[in-house]
Structure 1
Amino acid sequence: MIQTEIKKLDEALNEAITIAGNKQIPQLFSITEMIDYIDPFLFFDQAKHIEGNRVFWASSAENFYLVGAGEAFDICSSVDRFDQTEAKFKAMLAESLIYNSYRVPGTGPIAIGGFSFDPEKEKTRMWQQFPASQFRVPAYLLTIVDGVTYLTINTVVRPEDHQKQMEFNIAKNKKMLLANNTSLPEGPVINSKIEIDPVGWKELVRRATNDIKEEKADKIVLAREMRVTFEKKANISPILSKLTKAQTNSYIFAFENSDSCFLGATPERLVRVEDQHLLSTCLAGTAPRGKNKEEDYQIGLDLLRDVKNREEHEFVVKMIRDAVTACCIDVDVPSQPVLYPLKNLQHLYTPVKARLKSEYTIIDVVKRLHPTPALGGLPKVKSLEYIRENEELDRGWYGAPIGWLDAYKNGEFAVAIRSALIQGTEASLFSGCGVVKDSDPEAEYQETNIKFTPMLSVLGG
């Protein structure tokens, strides 16, 4: 990786083409500039005119946005997918020419994408366009952090490229992407919705509780699907805008592949690393919000005292503590959870803080954490096998790590829940819950209904 302070596009391109010519191999060229503020949702909407697909990531509470248009580089892996993803990203960076004097987390040639929940599960047609692991380096990346806006341009430079032609294409795309005189299209309206075999799902919960009592597992997370249809093809940008406004303590994400887009608003951070400082989140145990302050307070108090939810939460805390301790020093885990309020739900929450050892990366931690007991169960291998053999749903990327990493060892991953896969005029919504020995099938069913609410509310339902 060549890191330089050159800022002018023409100078940087000239140097990049010269280096590519001398080496006689393509080079990833990346240049970052500070720009005036541009609405991230307008940028995402305009990105539909760029060849390639779009990506979106936002931490609504921190006013942090990553919006990608097009594709400069794609990283797909199926075997040893965590290790291969990191190896391919490092190899790409080794042959990159990076012009970024800011070095702010989320600028430069970031890779943004995710993993499937279980690559050994037979893939259905629904998830055909989403591989076991895929990360994209956007051709144009908008980054908003701490109130400052950056634009990173990533492209592969070849020895035979013409500088003036590249400058012309970049200028044309920038003008289109940064246009502020546009407005978002209308969002979707749901025509119909259907739950996929709720009776069979409740029966599966009943069987799982019996199997847990027979000590085949301690906890098994079971998920189900709801399908909706729209009046016309769904526009993605207004959905993301509504999610960001409504789910203020969540990560908003979207990953587009051709005519499919996986998106959601998840409250569950898996891990964040910035300057080797690590933060993970234990989020398990769920209750609805109250209709007024008094009811909300009582529901929260009941959640904190509920044996089943506290047990479920402690499973997650122990697993995350052990996984983080293997890669970190100075691990700090509070002894008691607190409440984490969202618009429609509240959860038990325990933060885990640590310092990542120099020989480890964020992908090493993601590999150890997935799947957490909040999405898989315990023991990890037994619960995963149970889900694979008994659950009707092909989870695809649902419940799996989705996030980003940059050239400076920063990054963040969340667990892709409260999500939907939108495909033209149809969408599949996903919801799950943790089953333990005392679980009641009807209560678990109602919990999953509540968890469908955040997506339904922004899809016109």
Structure 2
Amino acid sequence: MSTPLSSPAQPAERPATTPRPAGRLVSRTVGLDDPGPLLDLLPPGDAEPLAWVRRGEGLVGWGRAARIRTSGPDRFADAERRWRELLGGSVVRDEVRLRGTGPVAFGSFAFADASASESVLEVPETVVGHRDGRWWLTRTTVQAPGARAAAELPGPVEAPAPHGRPEPPRDVTFADGSVTSTEWELLVAAAVARIGRGDVDKVVLARDLLARASAPLDVRSVLQRLAAAYPATWTFHVDGLVGATPEMLVRTHVRLVASRVLAGTIRRTGDDEHDLALAASLARSSKDLGEHEYAVRSVVEALEPFCAGTNVPESPFVLHLANVMHLATDVTGVLRDGVSSLRLAAALHPSAAVCGTPTGAAAGLIADLEGMDRGRYAGPVGWLDADGDGEWGIALRCGQLGDDATEVRLFAGCGIVDGSDPAAELAESTAKLVPMRDALGG
């Protein structure tokens, strides 16, 4: 096995929410010739495929070798501890040895400590990965207790074949979520008033929208539409949470760490010349630059205890996406020994980009004003491998499928600062709902 994961501060002992799998993990990774687009490999009939794909690279998985569920304020530490336990007696044959080979867990974590939504790490039976011109396949099973250790999995290791196009969503309608548009504007105004009183410097308020289809949705279709329309984002699906996030919370490789901060947004018009003018105005906007500075500062302060050094560009750049433009800053650093990507995701969450500043006061204001449980919206989503390396984005531009897959709860949020205009913030949130609405055919 490879380098062990870091040892986070030990949480207080409490009953486990997920039983340890009976047996040990057995995993084999082999190289592949190009099998085709990753999302096309997801098989029909699997209700819970896993995906983390950007510009055709990343990971997809299906089947379930193991699942870890956690909740509450210790959800990250509990998940990492159980992942280490699961790996403790594992048998791994990795013929590729890249970041993301060997056993991999896809994860999605609740935004709030008190959320009713559980957080999850999913270990798929089959993973196909693609990065830098190389493809690989990993098969993982849980071996029965007492069985002889095996370096190979039973049966041949064959490349999966692409499947036909899944059925697109049908007859999708949209309705207000927890509050109406008008009510949400009033909440923004209330938040601006609280900022004016000095309660917080910035708060991120979210709203939801309900989408209903006439038949259960095939999440593969939603993933393919998102990936085609927004190739610069990370298209993901974990445990019913599906979306395309532009924000990389943290990425680690060996001892290098990177985090992309997005804060400050303007909607695109479709007119290239006009959009360039809008991008220039965004880069000069004191309101947006102030919001962005808060977010960058929160990321740097969270990373510094784990890094031997960090690098922060002097000014942000404008990230152009299909529907919006963001102020963006890429923070990088050199990690101290033994720090996992999941440990960093826990330390970075929630950043000012999805919560506010100061974090504690902003989280309290969110609980007071939003009137809804965000679930895993705006929480970390991504994957980690047996070395602790991985990629964790922030679950934005996303929706949570209901139990029968005919309903999806969509989310969007905006950073509110002194001087924010409720109507402008509503327009920004509407723009952020476009990716999921379009993927659902709305």
Instruction: Calculate the TM-score normalised by the size of structure 2.
Output: 0.89
Larger Rg: 1
- 1:178 Cα deviation from its structure 2 partner: 1.5
Structure 1 residue matching 2:433: 3-state secondary structure: helix
Would you say 1:57 and 2:52 are equivalent positions?
Answer: yes
Does the 8 A contact of 1:334 with 1:350 survive in 2? yes
- Distance across 2 between alignment mates of 1:380 and 1:146: 38
1:197-254 per-position Cα deviation (integer Å, ceiling 9, x unaligned): 2222111111111111111111111100111222322111121111111112101000
Would you say 1:218 and 2:201 are equivalent positions?
Answer: yes
Does the 8 A contact of 2:339 with 2:388 survive in 1? no
State, as a whole percentage, how many aligned pairs show the same letter: 32
- In the TM superposition, what are the counterparts of 1:102-117 in structure 2 within 5 Å? 102-117=96-111
Distance change >3 Å, CA 163–CA 240, structure 1 → 2: same
Aligned with 1:29 (options 6, 26, 30): 26
Would you say 1:44 and 2:38 are equivalent positions?
Answer: no
1:335 partner amino acid: E
Aligned with 2:174 (options 193, 200, 206): 193
1:59 partner amino acid: R
- Distance across 2 between alignment mates of 1:167 and 1:216: 58
Distance change >3 Å, CA 110–CA 96, structure 1 → 2: same
- Name 2:83's counterpart in structure 1: 89
- Distance across 2 between alignment mates of 1:192 and 1:444: 23
- 1:193 Cα deviation from its structure 2 partner: 1.1
Gaps of 5+ in 1: 4-24, 124-129
- Distance across 2 between alignment mates of 1:273 and 1:44: 26
- Distance across 2 between alignment mates of 1:2 and 1:282: 30
1:148 partner amino acid: R
Structure 2 residue matching 1:287: 3-state secondary structure: strand
Would you say 1:421 and 2:407 are equivalent positions?
Answer: no
Distance change >3 Å, CA 441–CA 404, structure 1 → 2: same
Tell me how large the CA RMSD over aligned residues is: 2.1
Distance change >3 Å, CA 331–CA 113, structure 1 → 2: same
* Higher helix fraction (1 or 2): 1
- Distance across 1 between alignment mates of 2:169 and 2:2: 45
- Name 1:153's counterpart in structure 2: 139
The alignment covers a number of residue pairs equal to: 417
- Distance across 2 between alignment mates of 1:288 and 1:189: 28
Would you say 1:389 and 2:371 are equivalent positions?
Answer: no
Does the 8 A contact of 1:212 with 1:218 survive in 2? yes
- Distance across 2 between alignment mates of 1:69 and 1:191: 26
Does the 8 A contact of 1:2 with 1:97 survive in 2? no
- Name 1:10's counterpart in structure 2: none
- Name 2:325's counterpart in structure 1: 346
1:203 partner amino acid: L
Does the 8 A contact of 2:201 with 2:356 survive in 1? yes
Does the 8 A contact of 2:203 with 2:366 survive in 1? yes
Does the 8 A contact of 2:250 with 2:344 survive in 1? yes
Aligned with 1:209 (options 164, 187, 192): 192
1:145-173 per-position Cα deviation (integer Å, ceiling 9, x unaligned): 12222111111112566999x966x55xx
Would you say 1:399 and 2:373 are equivalent positions?
Answer: no
1:71 partner amino acid: R
Would you say 1:138 and 2:136 are equivalent positions?
Answer: no
Structure 1 residue matching 2:42: 3-state secondary structure: helix
1:27 partner amino acid: R
Distance change >3 Å, CA 159–CA 318, structure 1 → 2: closer
- In the TM superposition, what are the counterparts of 1:270-285 in structure 2 within 5 Å? 270-285=249-264
- Distance across 1 between alignment mates of 2:282 and 2:324: 11
Distance change >3 Å, CA 444–CA 159, structure 1 → 2: closer
Does the 8 A contact of 1:54 with 1:68 survive in 2? yes
2:185 partner amino acid: K
